Amino acid sequence: MFLVPVINRTRETLMEVIIWRIRPGPRIFSNKWNAYRVLYYSSIYVHAEVNNWLSFVNLNENDIHTQNVECMRNHAKT
């Protein structure tokens, strides 16, 4: 897991960072934020989503959660 500072959070910027930092193939976990939706249609990454409005865990697959990501983000902000 890693953090990368970005200029903005647009779909284009995020995909540029993802393609630059992550080799094709792995499973990427995210929330359902609209900018990440492009990953759902990607053929090079497996995308797993969590709807944070409902839970921090994907209700269909318990191993999909964003708790580690949220914890890391909170530490980076301090």
Instruction: Give the residue carrying structure tokens 């900018």.
Output: 35
Q: Which pLDDT score, from 0 to 100, does residue 14 have? A: 87
Q: Which pLDDT score, from 0 to 100, does residue 20 have? A: 92
Sequential DSSP letters for 26-66: -EEEEE--GGGHHHHT-SSSEEEEE-TTT-SB-SS-TT-B-
Spatial contact of 65 and 56, defined as CB atoms under 8 Å apart: yes
- The tens place of each residue's pLDDT in the chain, 78 residues long, gives 678 888 998 989 988 998 899 898 888 877 777 888 888 777 888 877 766 666 655 556 656 566 766 777 777 777
